Structure 1
Amino acid sequence: MSVLLDSPVTDQPRTSRHHGRGFWAVAATFLVAMAYSTVPAPLFPLYVAREGLSTFAITVVFAAFAVGVVVSLVLAGHVSDRVGRKTVLIPALGLEIVSALLFLTSTSLPVLVVARVVNGLGVGMITATATAYLFDLHTRHRPGASSRRFEIVSTAANIGGLGVGALVSGVLAQYVSSPLSTPYVVLAVLLAVSVAAVALTPETVVRSRFSYRPQRISADHGDRAGYVAAATGAFTAFAVFGVFTSVSPGFVAGELHHPSRLLAGLVVFLVFGGAALAQTVTGGLAPGVRRALGLGGQAVGVLLVVAGMQVTSFPVFLVGGAVAGIGAGVQFKASIGAVTAMAAPEKRGEALAGLFFIAYLGLSVPSLSIGLATRFLPPTAVMTWFAAVVLVLLAAVGALTRKR
C-alpha cells in the first residue's frame, strides 16, 4: 500500500548517525500507524453484539476508512515533497489519535463511521509520506548503498503493520476486561510516542513555495492493456484484503463457530503477514514470474477459504487466508512495478494515484457488496459468489498480461 517517490531536493544531513536513528524511528512510527488502522477488525463481532449492527453496517464502517484514504491521497498525499515530511506526518498522526479518541467515546454506528473516516484521512497522508521519508533517511544514512534495506523495512512496516495491529487487538480483546477500549488506549499511547519520535527526527526536505493542486489521477499511460491488467490485479488484491479485515471476523465467529477475538485477529495477521513476507522474498523475481505467483496464490487461496466455510473447517479457512494474502501481496507488488515501469517519469505520480484509486475501490466495493448480500443469502453462498468473481478477474488479468 505504499508509493515510492523520487527523493526531492534536500538539505545537508546533520550526521549519518542522526539519520540512521531517524530511519528506525520513522519505520516504527509507520508500523504503529498502519497497525492502528486494523485494530477494529477483530472487534467487529463485539460491536455487532453490543449495538445490534448488521454485517452490512460493519462493511459500511470499514468502507468509510477507504473513503478517507482516497480523499487524503488525492488532497494531501503528495505535498510533503514541498512542505516537508514532518509537516505532513505529525498532523497525520494527530488525526490517528483523534480517531482513537472517537472510538473511545461511543460504540454507536455514526461515531464508528466518523472515526474510520478520520483514520483513513490520516493513513492516506502517512503511507506516501512515511515511505518517502524512509527512502530519504536511508540514502542519508547509507549514501550509495543498495535500497534493499529500505524496501524490506518499508514493506514490513506498511503491510506487516496491518497484520500486527489486528493480532495485538485480538490478544488484548481476548484477555482484558475492556475489549472495546483497551486496544485503542494502547495504540493511542504508541501514536503519541511516535509523534515525539518523528519530532526528533531530522527533516529531509527543504521547504519551498509551490502552487497547490490536488494529486492528478490518470489511467492513460500508453500501454492501456498493461495498465488495465495492473489495475485489475490491484483491485483483486485489495478485495481480498478488504474482505478479511471487514467481514471475515464475523464469518469466523458465526459460520465457523470460533468466537475468539484472538483467532479473528490471527486470521487478519496471517493474511497481511503473508502478503508482507511474500513481497519481501519475491523482490528479485522477474515481473512475469511474480505476476504468475500472485494470480495462482490468490486463486488457490480464495478456493480454500470457500472450501473451509463449506465444510466448516477453521484450519482450511486459515490456510486459505494465508495463501490468498501471499498471492494478493505479490499481485499488488507486480501491479506497482508494472505501472512504475510503463509511466513516464513526469506522470508517475498520476499513474500510481490512479492505481491506488482503483485499488481502494477494491478495498471497499466488494466488502460492501458482500455485507449487503448477506442480508438476503447465507454467508457461505455469498463467499462462494465472491470467489467466483475473483477468479474471473484473475483470469482477465492473466489474459491481458499474455496479450501484452
Structure 2
Amino acid sequence: MSSITASAPTASAASERVPAPRGRRAHSRRRHGFGFWAVAFAFLSVMAFATVPAPLYVVYQARDGFPTFTTTVVFAAYGVGVVVSLFLAGHLSDVHGRRPLVLVSIALELVAAVLFLLWSDVAGLLVARLVTGLGVGLLTATATAHLGELRVRATGSSASAQGASVAAGAVNLGGLSLGALVGGALAEFVPQPLVVPYVVFVVALAVAFVVVLAAPETVDRPAEPVRYRPQRMAAPEGQAGTFWAAGTAAFAALAVQGLFTSVAPTFLGTTFHVTDRLAAGATTFGVFAASAVSQIVFARLSQQRQIRLGLVLLVAGLVVLAGAAVLLQVAGFIGGGVVAGAGVGLLFRASIARAGSLVGPERRGGVLAATFLIAYAGLTVPVVAVGAALLVVPTLPVLLGYVVFVVVLALVAGVRLAARAE
C-alpha cells in the first residue's frame, strides 16, 4: 500500500480523490440500471414474439385445411426448440457471459420472423417455430439471471434481487400475453394478417438487439477454457427433493399455458363457435396477463404462501373452466382460464425462485436452465398428447382429461414444494 493511501489524507487530497470513485460508482449504477431495462425490453419482445402465432393458427388452418393435430405439431416444434436449446446451451451464460447469449437469442428470433414472412406453408411454420423455440430456450434462464445481477449492481443492494425476480417473472409471462393480444388484434383489423404481425416484431426485435449491445456484462469469464458439456439434469447436492418439486410444479404451471397457446382457439371455435381472431388472442392474453399481474400483486407474500395461493387459484380456475365447457358457457371458460392463469403465475415464479436459491451465483444459470428445461417440457408434451387424442376422441373428454391431469400433478408437486419453501 502506498504512503498516500496509508496515511490520513489532507483536505486537498480528499477533495481530489473522493469525487472520482463516487462518480464512477454513480456512472456504473446508471449503466447497470439502463442495462436492466434494456434486457427487460429484449426479454419482453422475445417472449411476445413467441405467442404471436397463437391466434393465427386458425388462419393458417383455414387457408391450408390441415387438422388440429397439425397445429399441435407446429406448436410442439416450438417446445422442442426450447428444450433442445436449454439442454445444449441454456447454461452457457455462466461461462461465456449473459449479454452474448441474449444477443444470439434475439438474432434467432429475427431469423424466425423472416422465415414466417417468406416460408408460410406447414413446413415453413415448423422450421420457424423450431427456431423461435431455440431463441427462447437460450434466453429464459440467461435473462432471468442477468436481470437479477444488473439490478443488484444498479442499486448496490442484494435485497433488490427479489424485485428483479418479480420483474423477470412478470416480463416472461407478460410478454407471452402481449404477443397473443397483438397477434390477434393485427390479424383482425389490418390487411395481410399473416404478414403484418411479423413485420411489427422484426422492428421490435431489431431495437432490442441494439439496446442490449449497450447493456453491461455481469459475468467474469474464466481465465482458462472450460470444457463444454450439455446441461446436467442432476439436482444440486443435497437438494434433490426441492429441485424436482420445483421443476414438476413449473411443468404443471406451463402445461396450463400450453393449452391456451396451442389448442384453446380450436376449443373456442369447435365447442363455443367463437371464431373471431381478436377474441382468440384476447383469451390467451387474459390468461398470461393474469399470470404476470398476480406475481406483482402478491410479490410480498412468502414463497410458501405464494405456492399455496397459486395452487388454490389454479385448481379453482381449471374446475370452473371444465364446468363451463360441459355447460357450454364461454364466459366461464375464459374466466376460469384467467383465474387459473393467476395461479400459474404465482406457482411458476415461486418454483423458479426456489430453484435459483439452491445454489450460488456461479451456478445459478445452470440450475435455472435445468428448471426451465423441465418446465418447458410441460409446455410441449401434454399439448402433443392432446393433439393426438383429438384425432380419435371428441373435444370435451380430451379437455376434461387434460384438466384432471394438470390438477393432480400441480397438487402433488405444489404441496411438496410448499413444505420445502422458505
TM-score by length of 1: 0.90
Partner amino acid for 2:181? L
8 Å contact from structure 2 (residues 287, 340) kept in 1: yes
Out of 306, 318, 321, which is 1:305 matched to? 321
Out of 388, 400, 403, which is 1:384 matched to? 400
8 Å contact from structure 1 (residues 221, 227) kept in 2: no
Q: Structure 1: how far apart are the matches of 2:415 and 2:288?
A: 27
**1:68 matched to which residue of 2?**
81
Q: Cα distance, 1:320 vs. partner?
A: 0.7
1:239-263: CA deviation from partner (whole Å, max 9, x where unpaired):
1011110000111122111111111
Q: Cα distance, 1:219 vs. partner?
A: 4.0
**1:32 matched to which residue of 2?**
45
Q: Cα distance, 1:345 vs. partner?
A: 7.6
**1:186 matched to which residue of 2?**
200
Q: Taking structure 1 as reference, are residues 309 and 239 closer, same or farther at Cα in structure 2, changes over 3 Å only? A: same
**1:334 matched to which residue of 2?**
350
2:252 maps to 1:236: yes
Q: Structure 2: how far apart are the matches of 1:135 and 1:302?
A: 32
Q: Structure 2: how far apart are the matches of 1:285 and 1:270?
A: 23
RMSD across aligned C-alpha pairs, in angstroms? 2.4
Higher mean C-alpha deviation, range 33-42 or range 65-74: 65-74
2:143 maps to 1:130: yes
Q: Which stretches in structure 1 are left out of the alignment for 5+ residues?
A: 1-10
Q: Structure 1: how far apart are the matches of 2:25 and 2:230?
A: 29
Q: Structure 1: how far apart are the matches of 2:398 and 2:98?
A: 43
2:390 maps to 1:374: yes
Out of 138, 162, 165, which is 1:151 matched to? 165
8 Å contact from structure 1 (residues 291, 331) kept in 2: yes
8 Å contact from structure 2 (residues 109, 135) kept in 1: yes
8 Å contact from structure 2 (residues 32, 153) kept in 1: yes
Q: Taking structure 1 as reference, are residues 130 and 308 closer, same or farther at Cα in structure 2, changes over 3 Å only? A: same
8 Å contact from structure 2 (residues 142, 365) kept in 1: no
8 Å contact from structure 1 (residues 221, 342) kept in 2: no
Aligned length: 394
Q: Structure 1: how far apart are the matches of 2:93 and 2:316?
A: 40
**1:8 matched to which residue of 2?**
none
Q: Which stretches in structure 2 are left out of the alignment for 5+ residues?
A: 1-23
**1:290 matched to which residue of 2?**
306
Higher mean C-alpha deviation, range 47-56 or range 143-152: 143-152
8 Å contact from structure 2 (residues 52, 179) kept in 1: yes
Q: Structure 1: how far apart are the matches of 2:362 and 2:163?
A: 26
1:254-286: CA deviation from partner (whole Å, max 9, x where unpaired):
211111111111111111111112222333323
Out of 264, 271, 293, which is 2:280 matched to? 264
Partner amino acid for 1:262? L
**1:6 matched to which residue of 2?**
none
Q: Cα distance, 1:106 vs. partner?
A: 2.6
Larger radius of gyration: 2
Q: Structure 2: how far apart are the matches of 1:225 and 1:142?
A: 34
TM-score by length of 2: 0.86
Aligned residue for 1:377, secondary structure, equals coil
Q: Structure 2: how far apart are the matches of 1:332 and 1:126?
A: 17
